[in-house]
Amino acid sequence: MTELRCRKTETLEGDKEEEERQNEPALHSEHDNEPVNTGDGLSVPSGGADDSLQQKDEGGEKEDDCHKQDASNTPSAPVKRSKSSSTSGFIQRLVRVFFGCLAAVACGMLYAVYLSTYHDRKFWFSTRQELEREITFQAGSGLYYYYYKHMLAAPSFERGFYELTIDNKTVSGQTINAVERLFLYPELITSFIYRATDIQDLVEPIYFYIGAVFGLQAVYVTALFVCSWVLSGTWVSGMLTVAWFVINRPDTTRVDHAIPLRDNWALPYFSCQVTALTGFLSNNISSATEMFCYLAMSATTFTFLLVWEHSHYVLFIQGLCLFLLDSFDLVPSRKMADIHKVYLSSLFLAYLFQFQNPALLSSPLLSLLIGSVLARYFQQKMKMGPLVARVMKLFLHFHLVFTTAITFSYLVKKLLPASEGDFIIKFLEVKFGLNTTADFVTNFLLCQESFQTPGQDLFLRLTQASVLPFYFLVLSICLLSTLQTIYRRLSGQPIKTNLRLEDGQIGEQPEVVYHVFHTLFFGGLALLFDGLKFLWTPYVCMFTAFGVCSPELWMTVFKWLKLKSIHPVVLSLILSTAVPTIIGFSLWREYCPRVLAELSDLPEFYDPDTIELISWIKSQAPVAAVFAGSPQMLGKVKLCSGSAVTSLPLYSDINLLRRTEDNYQIYAMRSAEDIYKILTSQKTNYVIIEDSICNELSLNKGCRIKDLLDISNGHAVYDKGEIYSFSKHGRFCHEIKMNYSPYTNYFTRVFWNRSYHVYKVNSVISFQY
């Protein structure tokens, strides 16, 4: 009060002096410019020096009086108080960030240790021999580990890399660039690090390989933790994200099923990219943080494109989300231009590193970027005008972008020498019931679990873990708030950059709106393809944890309800702490014993028939022998023996899928002569017949291999909804076991056990009757 009284007195006196100067303008104008001799040889304007000195003296006396009164009434100066408060605030923020980062890293490391322990106990990995360890790589994924072993066995890294680019020892009769065809950069980098470091005597190659995958899973979990933390402002949401991720592990990751799969290497980088993008879209970040997020986003986008053949499709869905953000004016145009630069530069670099891969040129992501850039150039005033005009411009913008994108994609596919666009369109037509086909490859892919619609058990598991009910609650609130924000933008209201908790507008945050679009797009695709749940479910866990821990979300609800009985800010802060605490306690009580019980279980994984078969191949078959069979079996043969095979377990290469169809003909109703011609055309020396496929019993009869072959070959007969097979030839895999002519003329059995029969393809036909 003393300081205020002094300042008021100074203001009143200043006003009086101003009035006196205004009342005597003539006097001032006559004497202001007259010089006055001061007696020391200096001349100053009259009234200038004396008056100014007098005013300074008077002002100094007043200031001294005020400071004396302040000193008597206050313990310290305001400047010191503000400095101490800012210092304490900085220390508090630093402590929160430190403990948050510590919790994020600890969660990632504990998850990696858990995966390693679970894997060792599931397969008894540490007690197995090298051959038995390699057989544990399921679903044909061990093929990738073979190339890792090849790089370690090469005389030098450069020599091994060169041999992979001209590989003629994998697929019989073909020379392939294995690095481009199989996206082997993870194996190249891992083998280079293993060779360059002095850990060969400490860690076995296979442990280093799977340890790299588990380490990336730790990065995956840590990135989800940080992303939820950035959205909600509290690292408690990150803890809840990790808890839900681990509980729903069968639906969040495939690392338990097959370690070397490409998505197990790629999705951690995508998670880091999404986290960097979330920070980059935020309005309340410094320029240094924005630059860091931009650089991290650039590096992870390029790496993601480099290690997975389907990555550009995933980024296309992300690009659609960002396209909607830009179209509805929810993010600054400057940031969208920077994101376009990231996409284009990453695509260009990945195109070069992937040996001019034509799939990247015909990718929908590049087509969308071209359409967006051209539309922004021609519609520079799209975000101006009244509501109706902006809506009409928006529809025109959508039409222009997608028309340009489709046209560009069509032209590129026509110019490229080989394109799989027609096959993908045919596949989607059959998937959505717009067409039917007898083509084996199309029906074979549709029967794969990843391409089928998810069952009800997925949603039942998510509901039992309590994530799905809260997810729908959070999504509904954020979606309604987003729609309100879109209406405000179309009505001409500018972007709000300094939001407060009291505003209750969570839809005004561009990073939140992005995740709303992200979860909607990927959720819609996960309802169509079961394999895409591994892209959707982790972000369901993250998005739900952010929502229940965010005071802004609860404040948005209270704003809608116009709550007045209790202060809404206080209640939102209470709920954002109480709700996740209750959820976390219930999850800990129910699921912690289950998770720990998984580590105590000791299932015995042992496949003596496969081990016997591989041992025979390594000891009895010639080194240059070529094997035919199912792609999963051929992947194990290639991994363990290094022998050439007729096909590979890859479902993204149409040419290899056609060769797989030829190999599967050994389970069809074809003659011995037909099978012999097919196998000799692929330079096959040995063919492996599996009883599990030949005698397959399944409730879904239409998806058995022999049923798909009968439909493709025209041997299927439909009668009252049942499928029957009829041909003048018996099923080859059954007939060849009878050891009678003409099968013995073309094939000679050289190995058999309870699960496998190996036949040598005779180079000279001996006719026996």
As a whole number of Å, the CA-based R_g of the chain is: 36
> Distance between CA atoms of 337 and 739, rounded to whole angstroms?
70
* pLDDT given for residue 420 in this prediction: 61
Residue 43, SS3?
strand
CA 761 → CA 437, 671, 688, distances in Å?
A: 33, 15, 11
* pLDDT given for residue 720 in this prediction: 64
> Distance between CA atoms of 315 and 308, rounded to whole angstroms?
12
β-strand pairing of 716-719 with 722-725: antiparallel
* pLDDT given for residue 421 in this prediction: 58
Quote the tokens at residue 230: 């950035």
* Residue 255, Cβ density class (10 Å: 0-12 exposed, 13-18 middle, ≥19 buried): buried
Residue whose entry in the numeric block shows the structure tokens 């197990």: 264
Complete domains list, the chain, with CATH: 213-420+447-600 (no CATH), 608-761 (3.40.50)
Residue 401 DSSP label:
H
Query: Do 461 and 454 meet the contact criterion of CB atoms below 8 Å apart?
Result: no
Report CA dihedral (676, 682, 683, 689) to the nearest 10 degrees.
-60
Instruction: Please list the rounded mean pLDDT of every run of 10 residues in the chain (769 residues).
Output: 39 44 40 38 38 40 42 44 69 86 94 92 85 84 92 94 93 91 94 90 91 96 96 92 94 89 95 96 91 96 95 95 92 92 96 90 92 84 80 90 91 73 78 86 90 91 93 95 92 79 85 96 94 95 94 90 79 87 90 85 77 93 93 92 91 88 94 93 94 84 87 82 80 91 91 94 70
* pLDDT given for residue 697 in this prediction: 81
Query: Do 329 and 383 meet the contact criterion of CB atoms below 8 Å apart?
Result: yes
> Distance between CA atoms of 102 and 31, rounded to whole angstroms?
74
Residue 626 DSSP label:
E
Quote the tokens at residue 122: 């599931």
Quote the tokens at residue 490: 């179309």
Residue 92, SS3?
helix
Residue 737 DSSP label:
G
* Residue 36, Cβ density class (10 Å: 0-12 exposed, 13-18 middle, ≥19 buried): middle
> Distance between CA atoms of 745 and 558, rounded to whole angstroms?
82
* pLDDT given for residue 266 in this prediction: 96
Task: Kindly report the pTM of this predicted structure.
Answer: 0.85
Which residue blocks in 550-641 are alpha helix, DSSP H?
Answer: 551-561, 568-600, 608-620, 631-641
> 147-183: b or e for each residue (b if 16 or more CB lie within 10 Å)?
bbbbbbebeeeeebbebbeebebbbbeeebebbbbbb
752 phi/psi in degrees, rounded to 5: -160, 150
* pLDDT given for residue 435 in this prediction: 83
* pLDDT given for residue 1 in this prediction: 35
> Distance between CA atoms of 230 and 285, rounded to whole angstroms?
11
> Distance between CA atoms of 321 and 327, rounded to whole angstroms?
10
Residue 764 DSSP label:
S
> Distance between CA atoms of 151 and 689, rounded to whole angstroms?
31
47 phi/psi in degrees, rounded to 5: 80, -5
